[in-house]
A and B are shown apart, each in its own frame.
Chain A
């Protein structure tokens, strides 16, 4: 049973650049949530996608955007990168239709902005 996968594992960008992170949910799951985890802090909710639409959004600027594809995989895009965007970006999958909100995390993408 395939778990949540994310790519790339690590990424180094410079300020002002744009980045795209990718996530494939656990087999059988249809909902993808994205979180940002800064060092020493708990994950912060960015947004959640279900049926290819953004269903929930946290307190993140519009520079953070996303997309969900028909196969339930998802992308997180961040424009105009700032030094403060350096963090571990986590994707979590769950079953949205009739399921609980139990979320399972992927291995994460470590983003460093120089």
Chain B
């Protein structure tokens, strides 16, 4: 059983639209959640982190966390072609695994002009 799951995509989004990415995780003790963006051939770049239930906004990005349902999502508003990348969800699974991030396989997003 995969511990962090994401739809692999590709998710095709028209320019200017909202991209919605979802991530589910298996460990209820998970404490912190991260979204990274990875362009082809490059390393992951941190977009946002979220620790508490609810929404967290940063510019065009909004992270949503629901610990009861064990999912975290990322919304990208006003999508731009430069947002075309793979988005990785990462979860820190509990205090005894502090610092050990578990990643999903990533969702590929393609923003079409």
- B100 and A58 within 8 A (CB): yes
Q: Cβ of A94 < 8 Å from any Cβ of B?
A: yes
Residues of B contacting A48 in the complex (Cβ-Cβ under 8 angstroms): 99-100
Interface of A with B (CB < 8 Å)? 31, 33, 35, 40-45, 48, 50, 55-56, 58, 88, 90, 92, 94, 96, 100-108
How many B residues, CB 8 Å from partner? 23
Bound CA–CA A105/B36 (angstroms): 10
- A102 and B97 within 8 A (CB): no
Interface of B with A (CB < 8 Å)? 4, 32, 34, 36, 42-46, 49, 88, 90, 92, 97-106
Helix, strand, loop or mixed for chain B's interface? strand
In the complex, how many angstroms separate the beta carbon of B104 from the nearest chain A beta carbon?
A: 5
Closest chain A residue, CB of each to CB of B97: A56
- A55 and B99 within 8 A (CB): yes
Residues of B contacting A50 in the complex (Cβ-Cβ under 8 angstroms): 99
Residues of A contacting B43 in the complex (Cβ-Cβ under 8 angstroms): 88, 90, 105-108
Bound CA–CA A101/B46 (angstroms): 12
Besides A35-B101, A102-B49, A105-B36, 8 more A-B contacts (Cβ < 8 Å) are A41-B106, A43-B101, A44-B103, A45-B100, A90-B44, A100-B49, A103-B101, A105-B46
